[in-house]
């Protein structure tokens, strides 16, 4: 939904709801906030696909910092489009069996949790910050000796 001028906010929206009526502007063009949220969700899907398949080291390190467990609320299954194996009661039909890699890895990092929160969900996972281990001869001590 791209408009050159903002619509009259006093008129009823063809699809009611705050997300469809709230507007943002980018480069002088008005966009519905819903457009912005969907764009973010699909960018997140592409990012997770890229990370899961081509940046496995990053994913491995990130998952060592992940704590908690899946609440099986189904919110992450609806990022962008609803998963076809999601039951009517928001339960995954293949949760205990074979799940795609992207589902098993979710959430990869804090950005994924923010995407769930953007849709009003609360993810059962969180991430902890771990201190990076510096090997002797590297880091600050190596600079002081030089």
- Whole-model pTM: value is 0.64
Contacts 24+ apart (CB under 8 A), 69-77: 69/124, 69/125, 70/95, 70/124, 70/125, 71/122, 71/123, 71/124, 73/121, 73/122, 73/124, 75/116, 75/119, 75/120, 75/121, 75/123, 76/106, 76/107, 76/112, 76/115, 76/116, 76/121, 76/123, 77/103
Identify the residue with better confidence: 87 or 14. 87
Domain boundaries, the chain: 2-33, 43-127
The whole-angstrom separation of Cα 101 and Cα 123 is: 18
Does 67 score more than 60 pLDDT? Answer: yes
Residue-wise pLDDT for 69-91, tens only, equals 999 888 999 888 888 988 888 88
Determine the pLDDT at residue 13.
42
Residue 48 burial class via C-beta count within 10 angstroms: exposed 0-12, middle 13-18, buried 19 and up: buried
Determine the pLDDT at residue 136.
52
Does 129 score more than 80 pLDDT? Answer: yes
Residue-wise pLDDT for 28-43, tens only, equals 555 555 567 888 888 9
């Amino acid at each position: 939904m791209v408009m050159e001028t903002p619509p009259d906010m006093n008129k009823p929206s063809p699809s009611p709801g705050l997300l469809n009526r709230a507007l943002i502007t980018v480069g002088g063009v008005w966009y519905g906030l819903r457009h912005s949220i969907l764009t973010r969700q699909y960018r997140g899907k592409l990012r997770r696909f890229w990370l899961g398949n081509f940046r496995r080291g990053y994913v491995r390190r990130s998952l060592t910092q992940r704590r908690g467990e899946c609440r099986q609320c189904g919110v992450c299954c609806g990022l962008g489009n609803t998963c076809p194996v999601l039951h009517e009661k928001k339960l995954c039909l293949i949760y205990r069996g074979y799940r795609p890699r992207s589902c098993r890895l979710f959430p990869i990092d804090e950005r994924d949790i923010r995407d769930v929160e953007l849709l009003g969900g609360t993810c059962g996972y969180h991430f902890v910050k771990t201190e990076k281990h510096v090997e002797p001869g590297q880091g600050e001590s190596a600079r002081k000796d030089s």
